[in-house]
């Protein structure tokens, strides 16, 4: 019923003041929704800026611990660690992933030694930072990534990370069956408490470029990852991937990239009552930074709006290179 002069529905009424907007806000973003991905490099006192990710650097283990302390102070509950492996330690079979003294293991142990349970450490399981060909697994003569042979190595990599103190193992390789194999090995080896966050719906995306610079695999990678990462056209297949990883023992699942795949986040959240995470990946970060640098948008507002969008889509949390900045904005 509408009167000539008075609409009977005034949705603007509750938007009039900040206090009122706060009262009717449907979704919240807090620092506890953020996971901060950090890159680790060799050395001491070292910071190596990454050109394609302005504002993001690789840190030597000692300086990584300082970043972890920053995260704790800002209320971030978890870090995700990625190594830049020295070229001479990369090989066809990625054996460095199994070295208990590799950069990832040393970084994980250092953060855990310094901070204990004040912060969680999530470690990435996949071979691309360690292989001389940049693929996430072992390849045959034709360059095809072998599934079952790769899973065996990933199990060893996961155990290596768990022994170093990893709290959450995050397989990002997209091999079939790796979650179950890793879960079983963790149980047998006494790591029943270690979580698995599965990169379940990981797409073969054009948004990973700066990450490959950060871990040093961009120049090495020949071809693409389309025989294991998902086709951006598919969403039903994402649900099947998630279903399988949950059946195999994943504690939480991830959709990656983030913003272009919010529909997938929502579909997964609606279909399964589990924690769903999204990865706002390197190319998304770079887009926001480029927009801000070009004066096309205001950085802080772009960061907070995009992160809130993940919450609206149903994500429990977001992996984002803006985590520290966002957490500080939210805490202010």
Ligand X SMILES: NCc1[nH]cc(CCC(=O)O)c1CC(=O)O
Known binding residues for Mg(2+) are: 241
- Residues 278, 154, 50: CA angle, nearest 5 degrees: 55
**63 versus 178: smaller Cβ distance to ligand X:** 178
Catalytic residue list contains 69: no
Given 96, 124, 245, 289, the residue binding ligand X (CB under 6 A)? 124
Cα 24 from Cα 307, distance rounded (Å): 19
Q: How far is CA 332 from the centre of its chain?
A: 25
Q: Where are the beta strands (DSSP E) in 130-193?
A: 168-171
Q: Which residue has the tokens 């951006």?
A: 232
Choose the one of ligand X, Mg ion, none that binds residue 128, judging by a C-beta under 5 to 8 angstroms depending on kind. ligand X
126-134, 233-241, 279-287, 303-311 -> range binding Mg ion (CB under 5 A) = 233-241
Choose the one of Mg ion, ligand X, none that binds residue 157, judging by a C-beta under 5 to 8 angstroms depending on kind. none
Catalytic residue list contains 256: yes
Rounded alpha-carbon distances, angstroms, from residue 102 to 39, 109, 160, 161, 324: 14, 11, 9, 10, 26
Cα 301 from Cα 90, distance rounded (Å): 40
Cα 166 from Cα 191, distance rounded (Å): 10
114-122, 124-132, 242-250, 269-277 -> range binding ligand X (CB under 6 A) = 124-132
Choose the one of Mg ion, ligand X, none that binds residue 167, judging by a C-beta under 5 to 8 angstroms depending on kind. none
By CB under 6 A, is residue 264 in contact with ligand X? no
Given 39, 59, 191, 208, the residue binding ligand X (CB under 6 A)? 208
Closest separation between CB of residue 24 and ligand X, Å? 34
**128 versus 248: smaller Cβ distance to ligand X:** 128
Q: What does the block give as tokens for 28?
A: 């919240």
By CB under 6 A, is residue 203 in contact with ligand X? no
By CB under 6 A, is residue 197 in contact with ligand X? no
**DSSP-assigned letter for residue 250:** -
Closest separation between CB of residue 257 and ligand X, Å? 7
By CB under 5 A, is residue 241 in contact with Mg ion? yes
Choose among 314, 308, 284, 241: nearest CA to 34.
Answer: 308
Cα 171 from Cα 249, distance rounded (Å): 12
Contacts of 22 (CB under 8 A, 6+ apart): none
Task: Give the phi and the psi of residue 315 in degrees, each rounded to 5.
Answer: -75, 135
Site for ligand X in 127-146 (CB under 6 A): 128, 136
Binding site for Mg ion (CB under 5 A): 241
The residues assigned a catalytic role are: 202, 256
Binding site for ligand X (CB under 6 A): 124, 126, 128, 136, 172, 208, 211-212, 225, 281-282
């Amino acid at each position: 019923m509408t009167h000539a002069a008075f609409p009977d529905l005034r949705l603007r009424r509750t938007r009039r003041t900040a206090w009122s907007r706060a009262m009717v806000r449907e979704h919240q973003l807090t620092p506890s929704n953020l996971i901060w991905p950090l890159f680790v490099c060799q050395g001491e006192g070292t910071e190596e800026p990454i050109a394609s990710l302005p504002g993001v650097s690789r840190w030597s283990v000692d300086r990584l611990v300082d970043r972890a302390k920053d995260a704790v102070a800002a209320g971030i509950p978890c870090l995700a660690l990625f190594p830049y492996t020295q070229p001479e330690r990369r090989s066809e079979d990625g054996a460095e992933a199994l070295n208990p003294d590799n950069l990832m293991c040393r970084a994980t142990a250092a953060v855990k030694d310094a901070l204990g349970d004040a912060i969680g450490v999530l470690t990435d399981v996949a071979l691309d930072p360690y292989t001389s060909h940049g693929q996430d697994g072992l390849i045959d003569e034709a360059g095809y990534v072998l599934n079952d042979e790769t899973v065996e190595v990933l199990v060893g990599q996961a155990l290596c990370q768990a022994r170093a103190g990893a709290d959450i193992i995050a397989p990002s390789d997209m091999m079939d069956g790796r979650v179950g194999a890793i879960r079983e090995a963790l149980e047998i080896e006494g790591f029943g408490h270690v979580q698995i966050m599965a990169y379940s719906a990981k797409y073969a995306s054009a948004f990973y470029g700066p990450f490959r610079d950060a871990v040093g695999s961009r120049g090495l990678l020949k071809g693409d990852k389309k025989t294991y990462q998902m086709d951006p056209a598919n969403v039903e297949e994402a649900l099947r991937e998630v279903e399988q990883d949950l059946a195999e023992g994943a504690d939480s699942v991830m959709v990656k990239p983030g913003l272009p795949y919010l529909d997938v986040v929502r579909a997964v959240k609606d279909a399964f009552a589990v924690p769903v995470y999204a990865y706002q990946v390197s190319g998304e970060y770079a887009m926001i930074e480029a927009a801000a640098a070009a004066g096309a948008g205001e950085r802080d507002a772009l960061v907070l709006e995009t992160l809130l969008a993940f919450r609206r889509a149903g994500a429990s949390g977001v992996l984002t290179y803006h985590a520290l900045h966002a957490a500080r904005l939210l805490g202010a």
